[in-house]
Amino acid sequence: MLARVAGETEKIVVPCALTRMPLLDMGLPPEQLAVIPLGVELGHFCPPSPKEKKKIRNEIGLPDDVMVIGSFQKDGVGWGEGMEAKLIKGPDVFLETIRVMAGKHPRLFVLLTGPSRGYVKAGLDKIGVPYIHKMLDDYRDIVRYYQALDLYIIASRCEGGPKALLESWACGVPLASTRVGMCADLMIDGVNGVMVAQEDTQALAEGALRLINDQRFRERVVDEGLKRVADYGWGSIADRYMSELYAPVLGE
């Protein structure tokens, strides 16, 4: 199918270099592949004031004295309860990371959104870390959940994006991630986030704990994330589609 599609198109757009690499290995010519990342709606995803954050957390039902860690995705197989792990999304990596963190920080609380989270919820129950799981009717409502967070963790083994990278940055949420997708292109470990090798739960937990415990480091990471994401609003991404894809075809 890929060969047929490639033969009928002038360009194939991928969001990151790690997605481009296997397509090159399949024999697609480099000039046919364009790397243009995802974007984020910067006017909508934005940091809350301390007063707004407290109000949002109260509305969601989060305790006052906890460190809230976010995981907003679908990481169970199928569209039911999701008791079987979708391993590409790293729910097992996430749980082990949280387990290690909980042994060193007693006040962790996990905020979940997305369908099919049964595997993660069962795992959190087993290790004794409290959580709330919210299902959203309108995806745009997810901004409130980012604004309630103290930290976001990406534990995937493979990603195209994820959207959580840009959405976390735009909301001023510090980020700890495995080296996947756009994170590998845009994140600088120790500068605008913490980035570790895939499946390295110990390093991911240690990096996440540093973001929680080291206020100066956390504030610097948040500031650098806000600077980085400013270049990835959807307007800027649309301009890249025009200049890199459509203008050459149209002869402009």
Q: Is 21 helix (H, G, I), strand (E, B) or coil?
A: helix
> 199-223 pLDDT, tens per residue?
999 999 999 999 999 999 999 999 9
Give the E-state strand segments of 61-219 in sequence order. 67-72, 108-113, 131-134, 151-154, 175-178, 194-196
The CATH number assigned to the domain with range 50-229 reads 3.40.50.2000
In the three-class reduction of DSSP (H, G, I as helix; E, B as strand; rest coil), residue 131 is classed as strand
CA distance 221 to 232: 17
Q: What average pLDDT does the chain have?
A: 95
3-state secondary structure of 178: strand
Residue 177 and residue 195 in contact, taking contact as beta carbons nearer than 8 Å:
yes
Global pTM reads 0.94
* Domain positions in the chain: 1-36, 50-229
Q: Is residue 249 predicted with pLDDT exceeding 80? A: no
CB–CB of 161/184 below 8 Å? no
Across 89-117, average pLDDT: 98
> pLDDT (tens digit, 9 = 90+) per residue, 133-144?
999 999 999 999
Percentage of residues in the chain with pLDDT exceeding 90?
A: 92
d(CA 195, CA 168): 14
Kindly tell me if the per-residue pLDDT of 6 is higher than 80: no
**Confidence (pLDDT) at 57:** 98
**Does residue 51 register a pLDDT over 70?**
yes
pLDDT band at 9 (very low <50, low <70, confident <90, very high): confident
Q: What percent of the chain has pLDDT over 70?
A: 96
